[in-house]
Amino acid sequence: MESGFSRIAALAGGHAEARAIQVALRIGVFEILSGGPHTAEEVAAHIGCQARATMLLANALCALGLLRKDRATYSLDEAARRYLTRASPEYLGDMILFDAGLWEVWGRLEDSLRSGAPARVPDMFQSSREETARFIRAMDSLVRARGDAVWTAQHLELGFARTIVDLGGGPGTYLLEFLRRWPNARGAIYDLPATLTIAREILTSRAPELMDRIELREVDYRKDRLPGPVDVLFLSNIIHSEDETTNGALMRQCFEGLAPGGLLVVKDHIMDDALVEPAAGAVFALYLLLTTHGRDYSFTEVAAWMRSAGFAEIKLQPLPDPPFSSSLIIARRP
């Protein structure tokens, strides 16, 4: 990695690029251009912005490789069409809009560093329907755009399972791929009530043919015993939102909730022992500081919780990077 001035200046000024993309997405620049090339004046008229200012934004988006400019006309670059327009199955926009909504929270990073406490109530975005929808649609958008669920379903061997539970499954993006690959299995999402409302909307519109194989069940894994026993418990991006004590208890809960021979699969940023690699996980840990009581954990830490809960055959399987930055930890209840 280039180690001098350019790298540090680009990293430290990254908020300008991030904000340009977030705002362009929010005000609809990419949607307008998905219909064909336009001048800055035409785009400005569509989105209700000032023409000269819109030209400056469009030029910046050209410089960032998201738009192309031919004389005074702007059009979408292929990557922008693929990831930034709603009609695309790989639309990443819901994740970008969620990040945009956390702008003020990042402004309080110094407070969190001084206090060690989150900068907002760590409620997993459950307190208003609008926030829950933005959060859950963001998870769905990220996983679909990057392809984690398809990769995971292709590489996990779940042919033995009759019951697969996506614990904290959110939008159910992973569960859908598991049920598509394993037609004899039934699935469930155990999650909080506000999340389940959004999950039902997403699943019924995306995969109505699978709804009779999916149970949506209100379970708060911090308080409730996990209904079971089931054959597979899948936890994606769950442990990173919880502290060490809660995760130790959660692994014991998972052990109790599995049938003998059942599989626990944890998917997350799994860090090296120094907690600095993968780099994406080390940076993401700051978002976790701001919004949860968690952080990203190492394989050594997670394996210790699993072993002390009674699990055996604990294995680490990293996903290939790029584009992925997370790993699976797979363990069996003897």
**191 lies in the binding site for ligand SAM (CB under 6 A):** yes
Distance of closest approach, residue 284 Cβ to ligand SAM, in angstroms: 11
Q: Near ligand SAM by CB under 6 A, which window of 60-68, 82-90, 187-195, 277-285?
A: 187-195
**233 lies in the binding site for ligand SAM (CB under 6 A):** no
CB of 94 or CB of 231, closer to ligand SAM:
94
CB of 57 or CB of 198, closer to ligand SAM:
198
**222 lies in the binding site for ligand SAM (CB under 6 A):** yes
**192 lies in the binding site for ligand SAM (CB under 6 A):** yes
Among 41, 111, 130, 220, binds ligand SAM (CB under 6 A): 220
Distance of closest approach, residue 65 Cβ to ligand SAM, in angstroms: 28
**281 lies in the binding site for ligand SAM (CB under 6 A):** no
Among 91, 98, 221, 297, binds ligand SAM (CB under 6 A): 221
What is the footprint of ligand SAM within residues 83-142 (CB under 6 A)? 124, 139
Give the x-and-dash track for 236-275 against ligand SAM (CB under 6 A): xxx-------------------------------------
What is the footprint of ligand SAM within residues 200-219 (CB under 6 A)? 219
H, E, C per residue of the chain: CCCCHHHHHHHHCHHHHHHHHHHHHHHCHHHHHHCCCEEHHHHHHHHCCCHHHHHHHHHHHHHCCCEEEECCEEEECHHHHHHHCCCCCCCCHHHHHHHHHCHHHHCCHHHHHHHCCCCCCCCCCCCCHHHHHHHHHHHHHHHHHHCHHHHHHHHCCCCCCCEEEEECCCCCHHHHHHHHHCCCCEEEEEECHHHHHHHHHHHHHHCHHHHHHEEEEECCCCCCCCCCCEEEEEEECCHHHCCHHHHHHHHHHHHHHEEEEEEEEEEECEECCCCCCCHHHHHHHHHHHHHCCCCCEEHHHHHHHHHHHCCEEEEEEECCCCCCCCEEEEEECC
Using CB under 6 A, list all residues that contact ligand SAM: 124, 139, 143, 168-170, 173, 191-192, 195, 219-222, 236-238
